[in-house]
Chain A
Amino acid sequence: MTDPIVIGATINGEATQFLASERDSLLEALRDRVGLIGTKEGCNNGNCGACTVILDGRIVCSCLVMAPEVAGSTITTIEGIATADALHPIQQAFLQDAALQCGICTPGFIVAAKALLDQNSAPTEDDVRLWLAGNLCRCTGYDKIVQAVLHAAANMRG
């Protein structure tokens, strides 16, 4: 056993310090040390996207990041997507379009979609499918998810 270490990072806009083991992945640290359970584990080896978070502006699989690596970084998780008073337009579109069934993959899809729309306000269907190809959904056949992201982009463009 090694002693836990203190890690400081900006998580969902707040400077945060947490204790973690050097063995922890970012996913484990977020869920078990910080208490942000919205980031999900589906495969724990980077093949399903359920644990997607935005790390310093890029989406990553948090299961493929070691917790000590994020010292000094900025992280956005699903808990940081909505504001205090409103859902993000992507979240709203997922609800309107029935783009979730069981919901376990939903946080990863929404976080990934946000990163896409942050850099491309008018993606095509192909852009969306390529961007989300690392996120597996077994319930929906992707149709309504892709529609929701396209609708959210249109709504955000106004």
Chain B
Amino acid sequence: MKKVFAVTLGILTAIGGFVDIGDIVANAAVGARYKWALAWVVVVGVIGIVLFAEMAGRVAAVSGRAVFDLIRERLGPRFALANLIGSFFVNLMTLTAEIAGVALALELATDVNYLLWLPVCAFAVWLVIWRVKFETMEDVFGIVGLAMIVVAVTVWRAGPDWGSMFHEASHPSLNSGEGLPTYFYYAIALFGAAMTPYEVFFFSSGAVEEHWTRADLFVNRANVYIGFPLGGLLSLALMSAAALTLAPLDITVEHLGQVALPTTLTLGKLGLATLLIGFFAATFGAALETALSAGYTIAQYFGWQWGKFVRPREAARFHTVVLATIVVAAIIGLSSVDPIKVTEYSLIFSAVALPLTYIPILVVANDPGYMGTKVNSRFSNALGSVYLVIILVAALAAIPLMLATKAGA
């Protein structure tokens, strides 16, 4: 084993996908509005991202090639450029929201307006990427992000009727006055949150940063099988806490502070403090993930040297892209766009862009030229094909549903 916490890459990646600022609020909002009627989407999403990230991590370990490298190789420079532009746009929007999210977490702790925190947070994100080594970064933010588990404790302590909870989750039904299009809009948003392209950009590039080889395939599986289900669990916990405490009062969740109320009421000051630390670490981790992904995707498309495994001066263009992206995201964030709305849209766009990332990975994971004997098993391919259909349907339905429901209004 290379280090003590060998699965923190998977945990940090999953936190960035499942419980970044937009998802923290979206999960609670969905729980308060639909209770457990959308819990199945989280399960579908977890299985999908486990499948997807396992392939991406395996390809990276066996061939040393990260995801965007392969996208260009298999789709050619034109399609890959379209994917790059779309993915970069999603990354930038998400990064904007995450930097603001870190600031919102600090705002809740200090009652100082988040716009004052925002430049400080942006600088801190850049500084960590510039100075802290990759393994330290993923250990710190992966482990501290686990403070979010306090939400699961909240649900457990609240002592729900597990039987009826499971019944509501397995027999989803809608309240009167709720339309199906809005329901499916939220379903796609949750699915998009579980399976974001930036998660696999980050995860596979992280595997290269950590110098995984064929001998690390078990590390890959451990990361995937522990990290993503944990992310899904946090997502379900946020949903359940809101369903138990906020739904009976018909509260519409719009702010991070409302998300923290169930834990506050159940576990008191210690619970609240832990949760605020969790919010901070999770959004900070997601900011690192999206800022680095912006650099990874562009550098890999052009073949530039990237990564934190070399000195910054040896990956000059990569670090320039990361720095510029953080600056632009901070400027957009300061223009006081609603950061939570921004991630909700970026989730929908990441669902649209997903097939262009998923298909190349699925194909390369079957290419013996890269994989030798480590090509996909029949089971992976069967499941991979089912998800190919789900991903295509979600991608095609996303924009029409967003327009038809006025983004879930």
A binds B: no
Spell out A's residues near B (CB within 8 Å).
Answer: none
